[in-house]
Chains A and B, each alone.
Chain A
Amino acid sequence: MKDILLVAGREFRQIVSMRSFWLTLLLLPAALALGPIIAQYLEDDEPTRIAIVDRAGGGGGQAIEDRIALEQGRAALADLSRHVARYDLQSANPQAPWAMGERWFTGDDVARFEAEGGMDAAMARLKQAKPPATPEYEPPAADYAIVPLPPALSEAPETSFADRAQAYLEDTDDDTGPELIAEIGSGWPQQPVVRIISGDRPRGSFVTMVQDVLTRDLRSRAMTAAGMNADAADAVQDAAPAIAIVTPAPGGGATETMLVRSIVPLALSYVLLMALLLSGSWMLQSSIEERTNKLIESLLACIRPEDLMYGKLVGTVAVGLAMIVFWVVCAAIAIFAAQGVVSQFVGPALEPLASPGIVLAIVYFFVAGYILVSMLFLAIGSLANSMSEAQGYLMPVMLGIMLPVFFTLQAVISGNDGFVVQLFTWVPLWAPFTVLARLGTGIETWQIVGTGIVLALFLVAEFVLLGRLFRASLLSQGQKAGFAELIERMKRKA
Chain B
Amino acid sequence: MRQGGHHVPPFESCALNRGAKPCYRAGHMSGGNMDILKVTHLTKRFGDVRAVHDLSFAVQPGRIFGFLGGNGAGKTTTLRMVLDIIRPTEGQIEIAGCAPDKRDSAAIGFLPEERGLYDNMTAIDAIVYFGRLKGMDRHDARAHGMELLDRFDLADRAKTKLSAMSKGMAQKVQLATALVNRPRLLLLDEPFSGLDPVNQGLLEREILNAAADGAAVLFSTHVMQHAERLCDTLLLLKKGEKRFEGTLAEARAMLPARIEAVAHDRIAALPGIRAAEAQDERGEVGPGGDGPWRRYMLELEPGVDAGDVLEACTAQGVPLRRFQERQASLHEVFVQLVGDAEIEK
* A interface, CB within 8 angstroms of B: 3, 6-7, 10, 14, 17, 289-290, 292-295, 297-304, 307, 475, 494
Contacts and interface: CB of A to CB of B under 8 A. Distances in A.
A302 B118 contact: no
B118 A297 contact: no
B118 A293 contact: yes
A interface, over-half SS:
helix
B133 A303 contact: yes
Q: Which 10 A-B pairs have the closest CB atoms?
A: A293-B116, A294-B116, A294-B114, A302-B133, A301-B110, A297-B112, A302-B105, A300-B85, A301-B83, A295-B116
A294 B115 contact: yes
Contacts of B117: 293, 295, 298
A294 B116 CA distance: 5
B152 interface: no
A294 B130 CA distance: 15
B83 A300 contact: yes
Given A6-B133, A297-B112, A301-B108, A14 B85 contact: no
B99 to A, nearest CB: 13
Nearest to B119: A293
Given A301-B108, A303-B133, A475-B80, 20 more contacts: A3-B133, A6-B129, A10-B118, A10-B129, A14-B120, A293-B117, A293-B118, A293-B119, A294-B112, A295-B118, A297-B80, A298-B115, A299-B133, A301-B85, A301-B112, A301-B187, A302-B133, A303-B102, A307-B102, A475-B86
B274 interface: no
Contacts of B130: 298, 302
B102 A304 contact: yes
B85 A302 contact: no
Interface of B: 80, 83, 85-87, 102, 105, 108, 110, 112, 114-120, 129-130, 132-134, 174, 177, 187
23 contacts: A6-B132, A14-B118, A289-B118, A293-B117, A293-B118, A293-B119, A294-B115, A294-B116, A295-B117, A297-B80, A297-B85, A298-B110, A298-B130, A299-B133, A300-B83, A301-B83, A301-B85, A301-B187, A302-B130, A302-B133, A304-B102, A307-B102, A475-B80
B119 A289 contact: yes
Contacts of B87: 494
A14 B177 CA distance: 19
Pick from A10, A297, A301 the residue with the most CB of B within 10 Å: A301
B133 A297 contact: no
Contacts of B86: 475
B111 to A, nearest CB: 8
A17 B120 contact: yes
A296 to B, nearest CB: 9
Nearest to B115: A294
Nearest to A7: B133
A118 B85 CA distance: 80
Contacts, number: 62
Contacts of B105: 301-303
Contacts of B112: 294, 297-298, 301
Contacts of B115: 294, 298
Contacts of A7: 133
Nearest to B109: A301
Contacts of A10: 118, 129
Contacts of A299: 133
B96 to A, nearest CB: 16
Nearest to B131: A302
A50 to B, nearest CB: 64
A376 B306 CA distance: 69
B213 to A, nearest CB: 20
A289 B112 CA distance: 17
A467 to B, nearest CB: 15
Nearest to A475: B85
A293 B130 CA distance: 15
B216 to A, nearest CB: 16
A298 B119 contact: no
Contacts of A6: 129, 132-133
Contacts of A304: 102
Contacts of B187: 301
Contacts of A289: 118-119
Pick from A14, A289, A297 the residue with the most CB of B within 10 Å: A297
A17 B118 CA distance: 13
Contacts of A17: 120
B114 A302 contact: no
Nearest to B112: A297
A3 B101 CA distance: 14
A19 B20 CA distance: 53
Given A295-B116, A297-B114, A302 B80 contact: no
Nearest to B106: A302
Contacts of B110: 297-298, 301
Contacts of A307: 102
A307 B199 CA distance: 33
Nearest to A307: B102
Contacts of A293: 116-119
B118 to A, nearest CB: 7
Contacts of B118: 10, 14, 289-290, 293, 295
Contacts of B80: 297, 475
Contacts of B83: 300-301
